[in-house]
């Protein structure tokens, strides 16, 4: 009970509870210039994070030590236990607990091989195997006419330029033109 009360007072007085960014990433932190104070808070939180040191000595500023908790599990482990002891940041803690409960774990595991999550419950390999190939095929079938019409339109717009470049190249490389014509004739004579 004493330790929970101590941690609650540390967060109330020397810490913060924030929801950052468009995904409302919850962050609980305690910072102080006394390293032992922050180490004790870190020990009570039992978090998987390290103590951060801020050494920017501007004027007479001391080194600042900070411990931050970001993971959903750590936040749901710490905040509900100290909630009754919080005074100043009680409302923020309640909101942070709600948001953390609603948040999906981004590191879900693949349904098949339990590797890191990629999309729709599959790792990259299995996502491509089950969903990606089908998606790519549907996309190409759907957009086949669209792509070919775009290419035809581009050729029509630049037809004169292409023909001009081709004629210039043929004029400058008569031996190569003869060689290509010979190869083309040989190829078509065989097929006939």
Q: Has residue 177 got a pLDDT over 80?
A: yes
Q: Are 60 and 85 in contact (CB under 8 A)?
A: no
Q: Within a domain: residue 86?
A: yes
Q: Given the structure tokens 């996309």, which residue do they identify?
A: 139
Sign of the torsion angle spanned by Cα atoms 41, 43, 46, 50: positive
Contact call for residues 124 and 133 (beta carbons, < 8 A): no
Instruction: Tell me the per-residue pLDDT of 78-95, one tens digit each, with 9 for 90 and over.
Output: 888 888 999 998 888 888
Residues 6, 90 share a domain: yes
Please give the residue range of the domain that contains residue 186: 124-191
Q: Is residue 111 part of a domain?
A: no
Residues 98 and 130 in one domain: no
Can you give the pLDDT at residue 107?
Answer: 54
180 is a domain residue: yes
pLDDT band at 40 (very low <50, low <70, confident <90, very high): confident
Q: Which of 47-56, 111-120, 170-179: highest mean pLDDT?
A: 170-179
Counting residues of the chain whose pLDDT is more than 90, the rounded percentage is 0
Q: How confident is the model at residue 114 (pLDDT cuts 50, 70, 90)?
A: low
Q: What is the pLDDT of residues 8-39, one digit of tens each?
A: 888 888 888 888 776 678 888 898 888 898 88
Given a cut of 60, is residue 113 above it in pLDDT? yes
């Amino acid at each position: 009970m004493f330790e929970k009360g101590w941690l609650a007072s540390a967060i109330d007085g020397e810490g913060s509870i924030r929801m950052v960014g468009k995904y409302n990433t919850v962050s609980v932190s305690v910072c102080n210039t006394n390293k032992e104070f922050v180490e004790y808070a870190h020990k009570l939180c039992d978090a998987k994070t390290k103590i951060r040191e801020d050494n920017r000595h501007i004027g007479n500023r001391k080194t600042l030590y900070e411990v931050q908790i970001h993971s959903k599990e750590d936040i749901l482990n710490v905040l509900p236990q100290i909630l009754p002891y919080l005074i100043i940041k009680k409302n923020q803690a309640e909101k942070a607990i709600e948001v953390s409960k609603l948040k999906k774990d981004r590191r879900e595991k693949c349904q098949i091989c339990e590797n890191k999550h990629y999309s729709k419950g599959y790792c990259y390999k299995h996502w491509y195997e089950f969903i990606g190939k089908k998606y790519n095929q549907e996309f190409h079938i759907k957009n086949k006419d669209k792509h070919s019409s775009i290419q035809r339109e581009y050729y029509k717009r630049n037809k004169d330029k292409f023909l001009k470049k081709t004629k210039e190249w043929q004029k400058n490389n008569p031996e190569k033109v003869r060689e290509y014509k010979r190869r083309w004739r040989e190829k078509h004579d065989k097929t006939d």
